[in-house]
Amino acid sequence: MSALDLYMRRQRERIDAALDQHFPVDPPHPHRLVEAVRYSLLGGGKRVRPILVLASCEAVGGDTERALPYACAIEMIHTYSLIHDDLPAMDDDTMRRGRETSHVVFGEALAILAGDALLTEAFNLLAHTAARDPEPDRSWRAVREIAEAAGMRGMVGGQAADIAAQGITPALAMVEFIHVRKTGALLLAAVRVGAGIGGADDALLRPLTRYGECIGLAFQIADDILDAEAPSAVTGKPEGRDTQLHKATFPAVLGLPAAKQRARELLEQALDALRELDGRAGPLRDLARWVVARACEP
């Protein structure tokens, strides 16, 4: 097991334990709703976003314990977006992370509500966390950043553009527009929020922002490449699903070799952005390499 594998496993365990605790099985919540939320939230994701929050906090010498609730909130928002994206009216996906999607198991109504609950409870967690924070300015900035990234100028806007573009032969600029918003915004927010809560000043936030922009896009390109190439045992989704849906993806526009080249360039730019940071940015560097290697190594 590599150092990164160990690092990721350790952080994943912290995150999973915290998420589990936010949604106890007990009443007074209506039982099926809690079940639906827990099914999707604790269903074994890679936890890339919350790990980025913690790694970025660590990179600037911050206390990762303080960043943990923000990491959880971002994962809750990410999970809500997956549940809603999978709905029959959206991408109509029946498999995710190797298991049946929420609406297949719980029905559409409860899947919609489980997503709504996760989004709302993410902000509930943020509000409770920020209220206790000894440095409210940092907290507010973090909450604002997360809300912006998840909102119309970010994730929701990107998803709407993605749906509007289905079936249209996409131009590269449009694919980038969609991905920067749909996936890039929340990944960038993860990096910036972790650094901000860790106490980064502007001089540190600037290179980390550049890093976040690069790996945000690289992550989506890698995902698209995996969707096109990898067997479903690796992705947990049916093979070639994007092509079936005529999704606007980088491989569809550039072809696979050029898409891989673009991912590698973004990795170089991400690593270059971290040049002036010290050894504490090691996990951020490893995460960037891992994101691209998953899709681009032979």
What is the binding site for a copy of itself (CB under 8 A)?
Answer: 28-30, 32-34, 37, 80, 84, 87, 89-90, 107-110, 112-113, 115-117, 119-121, 123-124, 127-128, 130-131, 136-137, 140-141, 143-144, 147-148, 150-153, 156-157, 159-161, 163-164
Min dist CB 285 to a copy of itself, Å, is 31
80 versus 219: smaller Cβ distance to a copy of itself: 80
116 versus 229: smaller Cβ distance to a copy of itself: 116
147 versus 277: smaller Cβ distance to a copy of itself: 147
What are the counts of helices (DSSP H) followed by strands (DSSP E) for the chain? 16, 2
* Alpha carbons within 13 A on the beta-carbon side of 158: 24
State the Cα–Cα distance between residues 73 and 75, nearest whole angstrom.
5
Q: Are strands 99-100 and 95-96 parallel, antiparallel or unpaired?
A: antiparallel
Min dist CB 241 to a copy of itself, Å, is 17
CA 190 to chain centre: 8
Are the beta carbons of 54 and 138 closer than 8 angstroms?
Answer: no
State the Cα–Cα distance between residues 42 and 46, nearest whole angstrom.
11
94 versus 124: smaller Cβ distance to a copy of itself: 124
Local structure of residue 266 (DSSP, 8 states): H
Min dist CB 274 to a copy of itself, Å, is 28
108 versus 268: smaller Cβ distance to a copy of itself: 108
- What is the 3-state secondary structure of 190-234? HHHHHHHHCCCCHHHHHHHHHHHHHHHHHHHHHHHHHHHHCCHHH
12 versus 38: smaller Cβ distance to a copy of itself: 38
Min dist CB 194 to a copy of itself, Å, is 17
State the Cα–Cα distance between residues 279 and 273, nearest whole angstrom.
14
Please work out, in degrees rounded to the nearest 5, the angle formed at the alpha carbon of residue 72 by the alpha carbons of 282 and 124.
145
Which residue type is seen at 115? Answer: G
Min dist CB 85 to a copy of itself, Å, is 10
Are the beta carbons of 78 and 50 closer than 8 angstroms?
Answer: no
Contacts of 131 (CB under 8 A, 6+ apart): none
9 versus 31: smaller Cβ distance to a copy of itself: 31
Give the N- to C-terminal CA distance of the chain in Å, as an integer: 20
19 versus 273: smaller Cβ distance to a copy of itself: 19
State the Cα–Cα distance between residues 279 and 202, nearest whole angstrom.
19
